[in-house]
């Protein structure tokens, strides 16, 4: 086997041994932990005897010979069992028990990794099905030592396996990893303005991914920094929710850094409800958080933190519970490093789908999050990626670049880059991934970013241009009143009218008496209103005056709620009727005619209204009670980024003559084919 695909195929085909005993969705319960265990076993084999010698020599002399054993193994972990894969296979009679002893003999840090696979249950099930020996034997046939399979190649193998597992069960592999070319592009965009800054010998740089999956983003970003400065001290930090993926990531980092520092900073749990790196700040952050996935399981914790305002991570607002991707962006922004004397600061790259660009009206959680980002001048650029680029989805995706250390010429600006057509086809599709971005194209997109010049693919805007103030426009209510059989029936169904014959009395005689009195009142109301049958009123005051006179004849004074019920059922909107006014003489609004206008933040609300609305609706007015919660001004502030609109190019329809000619040509071709069939 000479490449990662061949090795991935070999491992994948081991599933053929278990297909009759394990459901397809459970293959990974066997394949992933055995792959990790085989690689770890291969790594520890050369130092196995030395570790055993140290262990047997000092186990009764030292309370904790951990440091000596680590030094002997050459890694931050070790195994004190006499077993390895070969010795386990040589003693097949007690294979399950011996394998579990072997696993339990790892150092605590590696045991914690393996326990995330729920490995013991898998081993017992394989034993019960008499498959354990065969599976172990097949894995022993592949050498996964780093001398044979580099860390980079091993990462590809893990991700290819996970992609296949999730593709087979229609799950979401995008939650676990991102195409390598996308990560390289994200890393380039983060480092492009920083190349001089990171050249300092021994400089400490910290990288963070709150949804780290198998750790690909962290690995590539670290390697890229070290290529620019081999003396840099680069440390990675990550958190992953999925236990199995977390275990794969952590085991991989144990092998990449012999001292184990990177692996120890990979932690498990939900970053939304249980952030493990709270209080830390990072220089670079990258993430591809799950999109279109609800955060209901974290809802209480997220809302509790949002209630703390900006003392917590989610003070700007919370998105709808069906999609939590912006929460990850807010978490990353909470880890910004402070800028001091032009040093420090953070740069962030995060992949989103189109939803965070525009979902949510003014005042909504999404809009308020965009507002917070833009008004703090943290959004540097957004890059539209090609479709069909990811393994699990063909939809449009975007890289957001955020920073609290913008270069001077970028301050107050946002750069939009349309790279949706910069791609090349793949020779063979992988899931939904049919396209890729070549190294040359990554360079091309990076140069579009660094040049910061407008062209067909690049647009540059002031932050304020994405903001607007949503105003409520009202028009006066005009009602005419005409009593009809239909309106009388509607009145009978009004809740206030129906409640007249309901009683809360407990005693039957009192209850019946109150109900009877209610029926009499109902009939009186209907009789009085019916007396106006045949008359049309175009003025509400005149109608109510006449109605009061009718009631007075019966020595009856209705409650305000009854008057409102009559107005609601008898009154009908009519543009020729008089305007309905309140007690102060102000026109009442017609909610059916209510409208909203989005006024650009760069414009005065009243000037916009006079220019765009008044000429068309002279009687309209702005509802001054519809205000923004933060600044108290008229209208609610909203932000959206209509990316595609800014790059839309109108294509006029083809001339009708051209279309007609094509239709006639097709008709002629069909006729000729029909003649051939008949003849």
Report, as an integer, the average pLDDT of 558-574: 92
Confidence grade of residue 173 (pLDDT, cut at 50, 70, 90): very low
Could you state, in order of their start, the residue ranges of all structural domains in the chain? Answer: 4-168, 175-466, 479-573
Report, as an integer, the average pLDDT of 607-612: 97
Task: Give the Cα separation of 226 and 218 in Å (integer).
Answer: 12
At residue 279, the pLDDT reads: 93
At residue 555, the pLDDT reads: 87
Report, as an integer, the average pLDDT of 619-631: 95
State the maximum Cα–Cα separation within the chain, in Å, rounded to a whole number.
112
Q: Are 106 and 77 in contact (CB under 8 A)?
A: yes
Output the DSSP codes for 350-379.
Answer: EEEESHHHH-S-TTSHHHHHHHHHHHTT-E
At residue 260, the pLDDT reads: 86
At residue 323, the pLDDT reads: 93
**pLDDT value at 174 more than 60:** no
Report, as an integer, the average pLDDT of 375-381: 98
* Coil, helix or strand at residue 472: strand
CA atoms within 13 A on the CB side of 58: 16
Record the tokens describing residue 517, joined without a space.
């009195």
Query: 496: exposed, middle or buried (C-beta count within 10 Å: 0-12, 13-18, 19+)?
Result: middle
* Coil, helix or strand at residue 393: coil
Q: What is the mean pLDDT of the chain?
A: 91
Query: 673: exposed, middle or buried (C-beta count within 10 Å: 0-12, 13-18, 19+)?
Result: exposed
**pLDDT value at 497 more than 70:** yes
Confidence grade of residue 170 (pLDDT, cut at 50, 70, 90): low
Task: Give the Cα separation of 397 and 178 in Å (integer).
Answer: 12
CA distances from 279 to 276, 311, 347, 574 (A): 9, 12, 17, 62
At residue 8, the pLDDT reads: 87
Q: What residue spans of 359-438 are helical by DSSP H?
A: 365-375
Q: Are 362 and 377 in contact (CB under 8 A)?
A: no
Query: 253: exposed, middle or buried (C-beta count within 10 Å: 0-12, 13-18, 19+)?
Result: buried
Report, as an integer, the average pLDDT of 219-241: 95
Question: Do β-strands 413-418 and 379-384 pair in parallel, antiparallel, or remain unpaired?
Answer: parallel
pLDDT per position as a tens digit, 192-218: 999 988 999 889 999 999 999 889 999
Task: Give the Cα separation of 274 and 80 in Å (integer).
Answer: 34
Confidence grade of residue 2 (pLDDT, cut at 50, 70, 90): low
At residue 668, the pLDDT reads: 80
**E-assigned strand segments in 373-529:** 379-384, 397-403, 413-418, 424-430, 433-436, 458-462, 467-474, 479-482
**Rg of the chain on CA atoms, in Å:** 35
Task: Give the Cα separation of 433 and 421 in Å (integer).
Answer: 15
Q: Do domains 4-168 and 175-466 have the same CATH topology?
A: no
Report, as an integer, the average pLDDT of 480-494: 92
Confidence grade of residue 656 (pLDDT, cut at 50, 70, 90): confident
Report, as an integer, the average pLDDT of 356-369: 96
At residue 675, the pLDDT reads: 73
Residues 6 or more apart whose Cβ sits within 8 Å of residue 239: 209, 210, 211, 212, 266, 267, 268, 269, 271, 275, 276, 277
CA atoms within 13 A on the CB side of 425: 2
Query: pLDDT above 90 covers what percent of the chain?
Result: 71
**How many residues does the structure list for the chain?**
679
**pLDDT value at 91 more than 60:** yes
pLDDT per position as a tens digit, 290-342: 888 899 999 999 999 999 999 999 999 999 999 999 999 999 999 999 998 77
Query: H or E segment at 339?
Result: strand 339-340
Q: Under CATH, to which class is 175-466 assigned?
A: alpha beta
pLDDT per position as a tens digit, 435-482: 999 999 999 999 999 999 999 999 999 999 999 999 999 999 999 999
At residue 1, the pLDDT reads: 54
**pLDDT value at 554 more than 90:** no
Hunting for tokens 């249980």 — which residue is that? 274
At residue 328, the pLDDT reads: 97
Instruction: Report which DSSP code applies to 623.
Output: -
At residue 169, the pLDDT reads: 63
Least confident of 363-367, 507-511, 671-675: 671-675
* Coil, helix or strand at residue 555: coil
Task: Give the Cα separation of 212 and 214 in Å (integer).
Answer: 6
At residue 679, the pLDDT reads: 63
**pLDDT value at 171 more than 60:** no
At residue 72, the pLDDT reads: 93
Query: H or E segment at 599?
Result: strand 595-600
CATH of 4-168, one of 1.10.3470, 2.40.10, 3.40.50, 1.20.1260: 1.20.1260
Report, as an integer, the average pLDDT of 217-227: 95
At residue 27, the pLDDT reads: 86
Task: Give the Cα separation of 138 and 10 in Å (integer).
Answer: 9
Least confident of 454-463, 535-544, 554-563, 607-616: 554-563
Confidence grade of residue 601 (pLDDT, cut at 50, 70, 90): very high
């Amino acid at each position: 086997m000479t490449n990662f695909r061949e090795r991935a195929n070999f491992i994948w085909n081991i599933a053929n041994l278990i297909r009759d005993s394990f459901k397809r969705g459970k293959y990974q319960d066997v394949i992933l932990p055995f792959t990790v265990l085989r690689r770890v076993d291969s790594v520890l084999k050369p130092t196995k005897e030395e570790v055993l010698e140290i262990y047997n020599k000092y186990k009764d002399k030292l309370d904790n010979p951990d440091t000596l054993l680590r030094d002997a193994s050459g890694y931050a972990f070790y195994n004190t069992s006499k077993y390895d894969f070969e010795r386990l296979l040589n003693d097949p009679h007690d294979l399950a028990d011996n394998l579990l002893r072997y696993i339990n003999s790892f150092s605590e840090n590696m045991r914690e990794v393996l326990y995330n696979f729920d490995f013991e249950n898998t081993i017992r099930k394989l034993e019960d099905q008499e498959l354990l020996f065969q599976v172990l034997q097949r894995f022993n046939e592949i050498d996964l030592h780093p001398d044979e399979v580099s860390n980079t190649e091993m990462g590809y193998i893990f991700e290819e396996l996970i992609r296949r597992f999730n593709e087979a069960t229609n799950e979401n592999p995008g939650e676990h990893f991102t195409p390598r070319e996308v990560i390289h592009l994200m890393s380039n965009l983060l480092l492009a303005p920083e190349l001089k800054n990171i050249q300092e010998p021994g400089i400490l740089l910290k990288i963070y991914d709150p949804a780290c999956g198998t750790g690909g983003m962290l690995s590539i970003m670290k390697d890229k920094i070290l290529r620019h400065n081999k003396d840099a001290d680069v440390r990675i930090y990550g958190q992953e929710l999925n236990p199995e993926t977390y275990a794969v990531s952590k085991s991989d980092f144990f092998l990449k850094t012999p001292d184990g520092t990177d692996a120890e900073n990979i932690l498990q749990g939900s970053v939304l409800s249980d952030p493990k790196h709270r209080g830390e700040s990072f220089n670079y952050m990258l993430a591809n958080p799950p999109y279109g996935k609800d955060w209901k399981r974290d809802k209480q914790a997220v809302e509790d933190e949002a209630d703390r305002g900006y003392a917590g991570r989610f003070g700007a607002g919370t998105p709808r519970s069906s999609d939590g991707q912006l929460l990850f962006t807010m978490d990353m922004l909470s880890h910004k490093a402070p800028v001091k004397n032009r040093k420090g600061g953070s740069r962030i790259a995060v992949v989103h789908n189109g939803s965070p660009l525009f979902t949510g009206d003014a005042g909504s959680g999404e809009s308020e999050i965009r507002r917070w980002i833009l008004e703090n001048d943290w959004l540097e650029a957004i890059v539209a990626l090609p479709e069909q680029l990811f393994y699990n989805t063909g939809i449009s995706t975007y890289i957001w670049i955020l920073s609290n250390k913008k270069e001077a010429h970028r301050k107050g600006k946002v750069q939009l880059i349309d790279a949706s057509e910069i791609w090349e086809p793949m020779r063979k599709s992988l899931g939904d991934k049919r396209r890729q971005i070549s190294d040359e194209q990554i360079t091309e997109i990076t140069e579009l970013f660094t040049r910061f010049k407008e062209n067909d693919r690049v647009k540059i805007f002031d932050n304020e241009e994405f903001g607007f103030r949503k105003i409520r426009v009202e028009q006066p209510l005009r009602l005419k009143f005409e009593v009809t059989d239909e309106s009388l029936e509607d009145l009978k169904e009004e809740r206030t009218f129906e409640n007249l014959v309901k009683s809360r009395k407990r005693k039957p005689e009192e209850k019946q008496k109150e109900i009877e009195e209610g029926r009499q009142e109902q009939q009186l109301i209907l009789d009085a209103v019916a007396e106006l049958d045949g008359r049309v009123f175009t003025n509400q005051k005149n109608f109510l005056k006449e109605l009061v006179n009718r009631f007075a004849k019966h020595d009856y004074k209705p409650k305000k709620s009854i008057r409102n019920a009559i107005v609601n059922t008898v009154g009908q909107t009519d543009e020729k009727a008089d305007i309905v006014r309140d007690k102060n003489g102000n026109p009442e609004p017609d909610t059916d005619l209510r409208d909203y206008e989005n006024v650009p933040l760069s414009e005065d609300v009243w000037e916009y209204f006079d220019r765009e609305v008044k000429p068309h609706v002279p009687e309209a007015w702005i509802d001054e009670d519809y205000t923004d919660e933060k600044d108290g001004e008229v209208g609610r502030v909203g932000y959206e980024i209509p990316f595609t609109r800014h790059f839309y190019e109108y294509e006029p329809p083809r001339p009708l003559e051209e279309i007609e000619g094509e239709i006639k040509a097709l008709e002629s071709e069909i006729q000729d084919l029909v003649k051939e069939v008949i003849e």
